[in-house]
Amino acid sequence: MKSDNVLLIFKSNIMYKPVIYRLARDFDLIFNILEAKILPRREGRILLELRGDQGQIDQGIKFLEEHEVVVERLADKVWREEDRCVHCGACTGLCPTHALSITSPNMRVAFDVTKCVACGMCGLACPFGAMRDITLFDPFAEGRTGQQYQ
Ligand code: SF4
Ligand code: SF4
């Protein structure tokens, strides 16, 4: 089973459309709401963890896009510059989802992007600038469009 964290953006014309439940009903996906922000009559944003086969996840995302939901995969937003990381571990204590963790026995820091929710904490914590400048990517920044920062 695969897992994918996505940001869904519902513009005002579709924000009250009941489409998320169809991910479970029609695509057999497990979804978990990680965070949400609703600006009444203006916009809704939901950070969602999707779990299922990759094909089902892809189909579910396609379904959402066909219903005018803007879908952004967080794995496309956050990455580590491998040659900058010295595996100091400073980021691991701040990562709320354990996407960054120290592995044993080699004590290196692993980055599992599928667990990342793009909170930006590691970008602030890393003294070597190894994490992409994700402070630019605020999933809940008001007025942000789905195309910005891509
Ligand atoms: S952005 Fe947040 S969730 Fe993602 S790796 Fe960094 S600290 Fe962890
Ligand atoms: S704080 Fe930066 S250098 Fe240290 S382990 Fe994390 S990403 Fe690597």
CA 136 to centroid of ligand 2, rounded, Å: 18
Q: Is the CB of 117 under 6 A from ligand 1?
A: yes
pLDDT in tens, 75-102: 777 889 999 999 999 999 999 989 999 9
The three-state secondary structure class of 94 is coil
- Ligand 1 atom having least distance to the Cα of 117: 3
Whole-number Å distance between alpha carbons of 15 and 149: 23
Residue nearest to atom 8 of ligand 1 (CA): 95
Sheet holding 2-11: strands in order across?
A: 30-39, 43-52, 2-11, 70-73
For 144, list phi and psi in degrees, rounded to 5: -70, 140
CB atoms within 10 A of CB 37: 12
Is there a single domain that holds both residue 6 and residue 72? yes
CATH number, domain at 127? 3.30.70.20
- Domain containing 85 equals 79-138
Is there a single domain that holds both residue 87 and residue 126? yes
- Ligand 1 atom having least distance to the Cα of 119: 2
pLDDT in tens, 34-62: 888 888 888 888 989 999 999 999 999 99
Among residues 53, 76, 99, the one where a domain terminates is 76
Which helix (H) or strand (E) segment holds residue 22: the answer is helix 21-27
